[in-house]
Each structure stands twice: as structure tokens, then as C-alpha cells.
Structure 1
């Protein structure tokens, strides 16, 4: 709980993965990927309850082995790769409220694919939502490329910048600041999660994470990069 707001954490992990086979239970450092996120829930004094949504028996067994509870198996109609994460979070939240007889003010979803996030990153995203009375918050990192300067697309038969701007930009640092969405966190007020527009609205905020904690595991290369980061001195910065 934070400032009298009751907080639910959801962790959504499908069994299927296209880029990295068995991604959610692949070993990173000394533990399966999903456990990196679940350990943050265990460590935080702000989280009142958590719920894991998975369609995979193997993931369920790994989670139980590490001391976490599994309350249900995700239904097949929510197990497709085409299903929105929002739909899965809504289903998990409803399950808790209906079966554990609890109500929550805030729901935070932890993305398993961004395993290097830390407790400070997680709790900061919650505090931004509550302290700034935001409708929702999602995590980002400063983009390494700029759509105004060094990102192009094929449009109307020719190559051009993804975004046009009136002034001439000779250096990326002179272009407007842009951010990459990562899979770290999505935080919602309860009523916003179940609204028609839970992701982007007039009072959406962002929580900025450093790049070395923002690696998303989408390909095998990302797993190697994350392994390198936690095995070097940068590990101290991640944990600190």
C-alpha cells in the first residue's frame, strides 16, 4: 500500500515465444527470467497482492519451485500471441477481485521481458501515478535513435525522415527528446484499466529508466546482452 492506495501486481507470461524459445523461464544470471520480476514483488513493501497469469504448465512449475503462488491457469482464449496484454491484465484483476474478494486502487503490470529493472524503477512508477495523480504510467528509456534525425521510412515512393520538423537539425541532441517504450512496467488506476482508453490519454505519465536496465529480451542477442550486463561492473548500478 502507498498513501492508502491498495496495489495489485500482475505478472503475465505466455508459454509460447517466437524470438526466444521458452523465454520466460530461460536462465539469466542465476534464475529464470520470470523470477527476476517476481522477486521485485516479493521485496516491495508497496505491493499488497500479486497474481500470475500463464497458460504454461512448465512456467507454473518453475514459479511454484521458487516459492510463488499460482491461483489459476490462463484460459485458452487469452493464450494467443495476438491477444492484447491489457486484456490479460483485466482478466487477472477481475479473477483476484472475484475469487479472493479483494479490491484495488492501483494495478501494476511487470513485464517479464525486461528483467534488469530494479525495485527503485518499480516503486518509482507507482509513486509517479499516485503522487502526480496520473491516470496511468508506463516505463521508457531515452531513445538511442531519433525519428527527427536518424530514423527514416519509405513513404510516397521515397525515403524520408520518420518525423519532419521545420528547423534544420545537424545534431541528434538538437532534436526533440523521444523515448522508447520498454516492457518494464505499466501502472493503472483501476478505473482507467477498465476504461475505453487505458494506454494513452490526457493524463498519461512516463517513468524513465536508464538504458542498461531497459534491455527487452526479444531475440537471443538480447539475452546475451543482458547476461553481459549483469556479469560486469554495471551489475552494481543495476542493484544500486
Structure 2
């Protein structure tokens, strides 16, 4: 087992909202290249591997500096396929080639804006003995309605704030560990999750307005 962190970029060929999403242009390079670039620039990440069943995506991944040491079975790249199955396949395939990292992180291409300061922090945490490292985003408390239509929040929900998992960065240790670490993502660029055409347009506007710095993150104050 190595002492480093493996980055897995899951990039299947199919997409419901945006056909061929992972190859669509964003700032002069395919969408998946942004996740690859963020991983390659991060200290502690020793390998950047793209998991795909698609030959065109595999070729683009290699062009932008990632490895594609195996192809994902088509049965693990359907709309109903679980990401956990693709991760398990990737780890097993790499183990069969003699490579076992200390930890791995997932960097889905649908989140193109990961700045280096954040990546350095999260990668370091993943190698410090945390069982999991992840990102979360704030969510509004659930509002309930009285029979007369008036709104209220139960007392147990008034404390807040509330968060939900957000897949900008997800890491897990492959050695025994018990602690867990999360970081809130709140800047508008980091919250871009490209599933539909309007999401891609938003990302392009951020880049066109020079509102994203690869080291610091989002530079604007508003949309």
C-alpha cells in the first residue's frame, strides 16, 4: 500500500440532462479536464485515474493528463448504476495491477470549480487518518404548514444551520480510521453542479467574467 491519495474521476459516456456532458466545452477544454487539472495540481494526490466505459472520453482524459489504466464495464455505466460500484471496480482493477493507495477521493466532472487552497486542505485531511472527508452545502430548514395554511417550524428544527452532502470532494481512507471531516461549500462557483444546459451557461459566465481563481476560488460578490 502506498502512502498517497488516489483521485478517481468518474466520467461515463451517457447523460440525460446534457448529452455527452463530460466532453462539452468549458473555457476551451472539455468539462472533465477541469477535475483532472485540479487533481494534478494538488499535493498529496499521486495518481489521477478516469473511470469510463467510453473510448472518446478515455482519449480526452489521457490528452489532459489523466490515466485510464482500465475501462469500466458498460454494465456499471448505466443511468441506474451506482457510483459506489464504479469505485469498487476501479479499486479492484488497480489492486490487480499492484496498486493500493492509502485513500481515494472522488472528483465528479459535474463540479468544475475546485480551487487549490481547498483541494490542498481536503487532500491533507484525507491523508491524516480521517475515515471520510467530504464537502457539504447549507440547506434551508423544512417548513411545515398548519391546516389553515400558516407556516411554522417545529422547535427542534429552529436551531440550525442544516447541511447536506455535496459531492464536490468525497474521500475515504482504505486503512482503519474513525474520525470524519467535512467542509462547507458556499461560494457560487463551488456550488455549480452541471446537470442541465443552464448550469453549463452559468459556469461559462463565471469564466467569461474572470470570477474564478484557480488558487483562491470565487472572486465575485454576486451573480
CA-CA distance at 1:35 after TM superposition:
0.3
Among residues 117, 121, 124, which one is paired with 1:124 in the alignment? Answer: 121
Matched, 1:73 2:71: yes
Report the equivalent of 1:224.
201
Query: More displaced, 205-214 or 33-42?
Result: 205-214
Contact 2:110 / 2:195 at 8 angstroms: preserved in 1?
yes
How far apart in 1 are the matches of 2:108 and 2:3?
22
Matched, 1:106 2:114: no
Report the equivalent of 1:183.
167
Report the equivalent of 2:50.
52
The 3-state SS of whatever aligns with 1:135 is strand
CA deviation vs aligned residue, 1:67-100 (integer Å, no higher than 9, x gap): 433212111221112121111112111111211x
Report the equivalent of 1:148.
142
Report the equivalent of 2:186.
210
The 3-state SS of whatever aligns with 2:7 is strand
Query: More displaced, 230-239 or 8-17?
Result: 230-239
Q: How many residues align?
A: 214
- RMSD of aligned Cα (Å): 2.9
TM-score by length of 1: 0.77
CA deviation vs aligned residue, 1:27-81 (integer Å, no higher than 9, x gap): 1112111000101222122111222110111111222333433212111221112
Provide structure 1 residue ranges, at least 5 long, that are not aligned to the other structure.
Answer: 170-174, 194-201
Contact 2:11 / 2:52 at 8 angstroms: preserved in 1?
yes
Contact 1:8 / 1:50 at 8 angstroms: preserved in 2?
yes
Cα gap change, 1:168 to 1:9, in 2 (>3 Å): closer
How far apart in 2 are the matches of 1:125 and 1:83?
27
Matched, 1:137 2:133: yes
Among residues 60, 63, 66, which one is paired with 1:62 in the alignment? Answer: 60
CA deviation vs aligned residue, 1:152-197 (integer Å, no higher than 9, x gap): 69xxx99897x9531796xxxxx5012243331110011579xxxx
The 3-state SS of whatever aligns with 1:211 is coil
Contact 1:112 / 1:183 at 8 angstroms: preserved in 2?
no
How far apart in 1 are the matches of 2:176 and 2:200?
33
Cα gap change, 1:158 to 1:225, in 2 (>3 Å): farther
Report the equivalent of 1:199.
none
Report the equivalent of 1:166.
155
TM-score by length of 2: 0.83
How far apart in 1 are the matches of 2:3 and 2:150?
47
How far apart in 2 are the matches of 1:238 and 1:23?
23
